[in-house]
């Protein structure tokens, strides 16, 4: 059974000619339905923020000289950093899978010029193969196979 929301929620700024229904919280909020998945996807922004701050720290260390750069590299070998980066990798893979593979099938246009897109069921595997290929290319480049 839905519970009542705050009385001022969804109240118009000025009275209108149409009555407004009383605001109610959805029955499955916050852990049922898709809410938990939406909140988890939104929470991935925390990891992006921390990684962005780490990149900024690395850029500042590069500007400060070789000693500062070496200190940053040594600090990244701490087990807490390694654990955080492992969790961040898992979060990034989950968010990428959810966004690129699941959403891309739903966001396809009906027509692309004179062409029709592939069937909706074929898009997630195609996107998965493209994603794995792009990831493999990045890993190969970072590994140093290509100069």
pLDDT in tens, 105-143: 777 777 778 888 778 788 888 888 888 898 889 889 888
Residue-level pLDDT at 10: 67
pLDDT surpasses 60 at 18? yes
Three-state DSSP string of 59-107: HHHHHHCHHHHHHHHHHCCCHHHHHHHHHHHHHHHHHHHHHHHHHHHHC
Single pTM value for the model: 0.63
Report the pLDDT value the prediction gives residue 131, as an integer from 0 to 100.
81
pLDDT per position as a tens digit, 48-62: 999 999 999 999 999
The domain made up of 36-107 is a member of CATH 3.20.20.220: no
For the chain, what are the domain ranges? 36-107
């Amino acid at each position: 059974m839905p519970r009542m929301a705050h009385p001022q929620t969804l109240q118009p700024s000025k009275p209108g000619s149409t009555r407004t229904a009383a605001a109610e919280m959805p029955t499955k909020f916050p852990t049922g339905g898709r809410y938990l998945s939406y909140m988890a996807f939104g929470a991935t922004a925390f990891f992006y923020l921390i990684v962005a701050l780490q990149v900024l720290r690395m850029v500042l260390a590069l500007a400060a000289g070789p000693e500062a750069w070496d200190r940053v590299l040594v600090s990244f070998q701490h087990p807490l950093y390694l654990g955080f980066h492992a969790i961040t990798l898992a979060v990034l893979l989950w968010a990428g899978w959810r966004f690129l593979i699941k959403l891309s099938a739903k966001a396809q246009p009906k027509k692309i010029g004179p062409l029709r897109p592939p069937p909706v069921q074929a898009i997630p595997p195609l996107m998965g193969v493209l994603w794995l290929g792009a990831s493999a290319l990045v890993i190969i480049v970072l590994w140093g196979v290509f100069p």
